[in-house]
Amino acid sequence: MSLGGVLVTGATTPIGERLCRSLLADQNVDHVLAVGHHPPERALPFSHGERLVYRQVDLSRSRAVHKLLFGIARDLKIQVVMHLSMHRSLQGRGSRVHAHNVDSLRSLLALSERHPTIRRLVFKSHFEVYQIQHNLPVLITEDHPLNMAGGAPQWLRDRVEADITACTRMGLSDLEIMVLRCAEVLAPGTGSQLFDYLASSVCMRPAGYDPVLNLLSLSDVVRALELACKSSGTQGVVNIPGADSLPLSECIHRWGRTSLPLPDLLLSPAFRIRRRLRGAQFSYGMNRRRFHYAAVADGTRAAELIGYHPENPIDWPAEAQELGSQR
Amino acid sequence: MSLSPVIARRFAQAVLTPEELEWVDAIPYTNTGHGYDPFGMHPAFVATGLGLFKKLHSSYFRVKNYGIENVPKSGNGILAGNHSGTLPTDGMMLWLDVVRNAQRVPRPIADHFVPTLPYLGVLFSRGGMVGGSRGNVRALLQAGELLMIFPEGVPGIGKPFSERYQLQDWRVGHAELAIRHSAPVIPVAFIGPEEQMPQVARLERFGKVLGLPYLPIPASPIPLPVRYHIHYGEPIALHQDYRPEQADDPEVVNEAAHRVKTAVQGLIERGLEIREGVFR
């Protein structure tokens, strides 16, 4: 069955790039309209003839989004929008970043609802939108409270707002909307806080706590997005868990790092110094509860709605090294 | 706390019998990829817990059980019992008793403050403990786990010596969940722990500073070596008498919880009658 054309925003990110490749490998996809921030010559490291079209678009400008959807997207008969674009840096602040993170989605939703060919929009949201607390469930379902903490950085507030924006439009028009709350993808270029945390050779963590984390591999997130793209006739919010659920200490060990448990009081200033000196992205304040209490995404609804099951674990560097030396 | 499962396993190998090790290895659980279940339980730590505390079970408290055959061998269920003793050793002994004699790992449902306790929270969760939120309990029952719930909660464990064997305010959540998730409730009565550590005072403000509901001041610095008698009653199939949608009816839930409370109270009375002495 032909899927028509698929528009992918955030196409120059590691996830977007892999998703484009994967969609192009499917002959049922007529065109992939890849949208990114980079100029065309630095955009995608592969070409695919006429089936792949790349456009450099600043999504924070609503006029540009309008032009994209009612221009090339209409010409290519785009049926599905895969919205992956989100500002990844914690240092990104202000109205421009907010416009990119939230207003662009609002424009995409409003325009898609009245678009002649678009019938489905998939938004890649984040597991970080959930509140983690000692008295809340460990296994997090889609009705879990969201993190509405007033003091949260814009990085997080924008993600929560975008998620709610997509959810509130569900069922109001013929447009099928699917929100995928993806577990953290432990890979570079994905905005992963944990990836930045694990960049240090010695990883400080709160003494006396060792919460279970759930992590998603690049191949599984791409597979989930592809399944959501093709699950015509379904809509809703689903969690996308990964195949790796393990305690923080084990995660540090498997990444080949040394774990250093410290009293909680020392961690905030220590990570603040690290951020200032090394320009690191990791914010202990934002991850504090996650580093104390277990939180694992429940993927039951994703299995029911889009047939997603986590299959591909992360390729842990320390493990790979150990295996390599054994050979 | 980053005790490796490898070290935990080596310790267990040193202190457990090969048979005990064999069935701990055969424990059915949801392995989420690295040997842990989503709540942090790991069989190597279950084995360690068994190795560390089995002497407490067999030699110190000399636990004697009655009706262990009432604990289901498989499928979901709720063990609901009286709670007392200043320290939650009754929970530990029930866990050990079921692990050793019914060869299942029951999941203790703890009060919300327990996961916030440094080190202890991690150790308990590796052995199967889960924080008492509705979502956690629902997930465990749906996964076919056997839960340990003390409906008296913290007021039970902190009851004054003069109120021993008198059930405190009996919470109803276990009954609601049992009806909703078709789980049998196994009433459990503890005879012994109510006398193990009489409290002479409690410091509430100081306890709050430490993240505890209160700090108990017991008459004895450690639990006395009272003999534990654990009575397991016949399973109460609440789900056969009530429809799942009735779990939303407060009157039905109160009535169902009262049935469980009455069963526990009956077991306590019978247990006290047949007991020959606090230390016997």
Provide the residue type at A8 as one letter. V
- Chain B positions with Cβ closer than 8 Å to A: 1-2, 32-34, 36, 38-40, 112-113, 115-116, 118-119, 121-122, 125, 130-131, 133-136, 139
Please say whether the beta carbons of B79 and B71 come within 8 A. Answer: yes
Q: Which residue among B33, B134, B135 sits closest to A246, beta carbon to beta carbon? A: B33
Name the nearest CA neighbour of A89 among A13, A24, A3, A5: A13
Q: What share of chain B is helix, strand, coil (3-state, %, to 5)?
A: 45, 15, 40
Q: Taking the CB of residue B199, how many other CB atoms lie within 10 A of it?
A: 17
**How far is the C-alpha of A12 from the C-alpha of B241, rounded, in Å?**
59
Measure A214 CA to nearest chain B CA, in Å: 9
Name the nearest CA neighbour of B49 among B102, B2, B115, B5: B5
Closest-CA residue of chain A to B115:
A134
Which residues lie below 8 Å from residue A305, measured CB to CB, with a gap of 6+? A178, A231, A234, A236, A238
Q: In chain B, what residues touch A296 (CB-CB under 8 Å)? A: 32, 38
**Angle in degrees, 0-180, between the axes of helices A104-113 and A154-169, rounded to the nearest 10:** 10
State both tokens at A269. 């200033």
Q: Do A212 and B134 touch (CB under 8 A)?
A: no
Q: What is the model's pLDDT at position A49?
A: 80
Please say whether the beta carbons of A307 and A231 come within 8 A. Answer: yes
Q: Do B139 and A298 touch (CB under 8 A)?
A: yes
Question: What is the DSSP secondary-structure string of A207-219?
Answer: TT---EEEEE-HH
Instruction: Determine which of A149-158, A168-177, A312-321 has the lowest per-residue pLDDT on average.
Output: A312-321
- A245 interfaces chain B, CB cutoff of 8 Å: yes
- Computed from CA positions of residues A131, A134, A137, A138, in that sequence, does the dihedral angle turn out positive or negative? positive
Query: What does pTM read for this prediction?
Result: 0.90
* Chain A with chain B: Cβ pairs closer than 8 A: 91
Q: What is the pLDDT of residues B185-228, one digit of tens each?
A: 999 999 999 999 888 887 888 877 877 777 888 888 899 999 99
Q: What is the pLDDT of residues A217-253, one digit of tens each?
A: 999 999 999 999 999 999 999 999 999 999 999 999 9
Q: What is the pLDDT of residues A108-119, one digit of tens each?
A: 999 999 999 999
Q: Is the pLDDT of residue B182 over 90?
A: yes
Q: Is the pLDDT of residue A327 over 60?
A: no
Strand duo A184-185 + A176-182: pairing? unpaired
| Among B1, B31, B123, the residue to mutate for chain A (most A Cβ within 10 A) | B1
Q: In chain A, what residues touch B110 (CB-CB under 8 Å)? A: none
Q: What is the model's pLDDT at position B156?
A: 84
- A312 interfaces chain B, CB cutoff of 8 Å: no
Using DSSP, state whether B62 is helix, strand or coil: coil
Q: Do A245 and B33 touch (CB under 8 A)?
A: yes
State both tokens at B155. 């007021």
Strand partners, A82: A8, A122
Distances in whole angstroms, Cα of residue A102 to Cα of each of A109, A207, A293: 11, 37, 29
- ipTM for the complex shown: 0.86
